Amino acid sequence: MNLLIKGGRVIDPSQGIDDTLDVVVENGLVKEIGKGLAVPAAAETVDATGKYVVPGLIDMHVHLRDPGLEYKEDIISGTRAAVAGGFTSVCCMPNTKPAIDNKAIASYIINKAKTEGACNVFPVGTITQGMHGDRLAEMGELKESGCVAVSDDGKPVKNSELMRRALQYAAGIGIMVISHAEELELVGEGVMNEGFTSTELGLKGIPRVAEDIATAREIMLAEYVGAPIHIAHVSTKGAVRIIREAKARGVKVTCETAPHYFTLTDDAVRGYNTNAKMNPPLREADDVAAIKAGLKDGTIDCIATDHAPHHLDEKDVEFNEAMNGIVGLETSLPLSLKLVDEGLLTLAQLVEKMSCKPSELLGLGRGSLKAGSVADITVIDPAKQWTVTESALASKSKNSPWLGETMTGAAACTVVGGNVVFSGR
């Protein structure tokens, strides 16, 4: 299908573009960007007046739960949620059942996504076999079969020697290591952030230093072996500071945070709200401020969602028993747009963190509207108001702390490979 996206505010940091322009798509590729472009043959026109037209958003950290846990989410429902949230590509974490630690599982995901998914899916393989933390996974074959990074996300690699070797090995074959930075001994039986709220609620706390120490270890190992490291879901002011200092020293460290860490504090847990239970846990106001500062000064490279769907029965239990995580694909865009409203980021910087940078880090060859690029495009309606309800969410799971809240901003049109796969709520 050919496409003319007409009259939108095109924001493409890869070309330094921020102007009201038309975008012409032909045969799945961006053909041309300019003013008053002619409608190509047999083209559909998307009126983008008053809307933003940006390189397709990329979520480098989601859990699609497929294979093995399809009752929570699968590749079909997960990618539908992704395109409804404006994402044209997602990277799915390997803690499936079985884990993505071999070519067969990676190929299954890639093939199912190609035939039945609504957007691009790039699997992330494991660092260690079965995510057991004792032997390196076959990273070479994982990369060859289409994995774009390796991670034991959901748990840290406890053994420092193994992590050192993982970084060396991965660097050698040119695949990124994504670290779930958490010192488990300090986490203990904690179920929320350790602070006044955990004291008042009588819930076991997870100290922030559990994340800080693990972040510092990863950085020191990466620095020692001269390999890149990406820190997932940064939530503490300490981790932001440690990463900032390491970047200034020239360490090849990058990181991401998620919208809940710059939007909510651990106050959201009050009432023993299991939809506010996640790992790392929601922190305190000074952490939220530090995350925002890290986004603003570039310490935090990417915004990912850590979309973690769970079935109702896994959340509708006593707080300690509830699974960690929330769905995030469909709320990420409006929550992130708030950063622009607050003057913290420019639109171009936001697009950089939600599209260009994830593509660059993982070598996805996307994140740009340059002529000849794959036509993955998100048209954003910044004024669209919608309410987060269970029925409004395309994800199979509904575990969102924002249920009932009205959001401003949404994807008006999501284009994957030149095809319109979603056209507004």
Partner 1 sequence: MEFKHKDIIALRDLSKEEIELLISTAENMREVNSRDIKKVPTLRGKTIINLFYESSTRTRTSFEIAGKRLSADTVNIAPSNSSATKGETLADTALNLLAMKPDIIVMRHAVSGSHYFLSKKVGCSIINAGDGAHEHPSQGLLDMLTIKDKFGRLDGLKVAMVGDITHSRVARSDIQGLTKMGSSIFLAGPPTMMPPGVERLGNVTVCGTMKEAIQDADVVIMLRIQQERQGKTLMPNTREYSRYFGLNPENLKLAKPDAMVMHPGPINRGVEMSSYVVDGSQSHVLKQVENGVAVRMAMLYHVCGGELE
**Where on the chain is the footprint of partner 1 (CB under 8 A)?**
194-196, 198-205, 271-272, 316-321
- On the CB side of 325, CA atoms within 13 Å amount to 23
Using alpha carbons, select from 50, 55, 54, 53 the residue that is nearest to residue 383: 50
152 three-state secondary structure? coil
* Torsions phi, psi for 208 (to 5 deg): -60, -30
- Residue for token pair 């884990």: 99
Here the tokens at position 347 are 């639109």
* Torsions phi, psi for 383 (to 5 deg): -100, -5
Q: Which residues of 258-282 are buried (b: 16+ CB within 10 A; e: fewer)?
A: bbbbbbbbbebbeeeebbbbbbbbb
End-to-end CA distance of the chain: 22
- Residue for token pair 């707080």: 319
Give the nearest distance from C-beta 214 to partner 1 in angstroms: 19
- For partner 1, the closer of residues 146 and 190 by Cβ is 190
- For partner 1, the closer of residues 161 and 313 by Cβ is 313
Identify the bridge partners of residue 32 per DSSP, sorted by sequence position. 24
Give the nearest distance from C-beta 203 to partner 1 in angstroms: 5
Give the nearest distance from C-beta 310 to partner 1 in angstroms: 15
Task: Give how far Cα 336 sits from Cα of 95, 275, 331, Å.
Answer: 26, 19, 9
- For partner 1, the closer of residues 172 and 271 by Cβ is 271
- For partner 1, the closer of residues 194 and 330 by Cβ is 194
- For partner 1, the closer of residues 320 and 406 by Cβ is 320
| Nearest-angstrom CA–CA distance, 302 and 2 | 31
- For partner 1, the closer of residues 104 and 285 by Cβ is 285
**19 tagged catalytic:** no
Contact 131, 99 (CB under 8 A): yes
| Nearest-angstrom CA–CA distance, 47 and 59 | 25
> Is the link from the previous residue into 280 a cis peptide, with omega within 30 of 0?
yes
Q: Which position among 152, 287, 306, 381 bears the catalytic label? A: 306
Give the nearest distance from C-beta 282 to partner 1 in angstroms: 15
Give the nearest distance from C-beta 188 to partner 1 in angstroms: 9
Length of the chain in residues, anyone?
425
Give the nearest distance from C-beta 272 to partner 1 in angstroms: 3
- For partner 1, the closer of residues 196 and 224 by Cβ is 196
Helices (H), 99-236: 103-116, 139-144, 160-173, 184-187, 196-201, 209-225
Give the nearest distance from C-beta 20 to partner 1 in angstroms: 51
Give the nearest distance from C-beta 198 to partner 1 in angstroms: 7
| Nearest-angstrom CA–CA distance, 117 and 339 | 30
Here the tokens at position 67 are 């294979």
Contact 41, 31 (CB under 8 A): no
Here the tokens at position 98 are 């079985």
- For partner 1, the closer of residues 134 and 321 by Cβ is 321
Here the tokens at position 40 are 């190509």
Q: Point out the residues that are catalytic.
A: 306
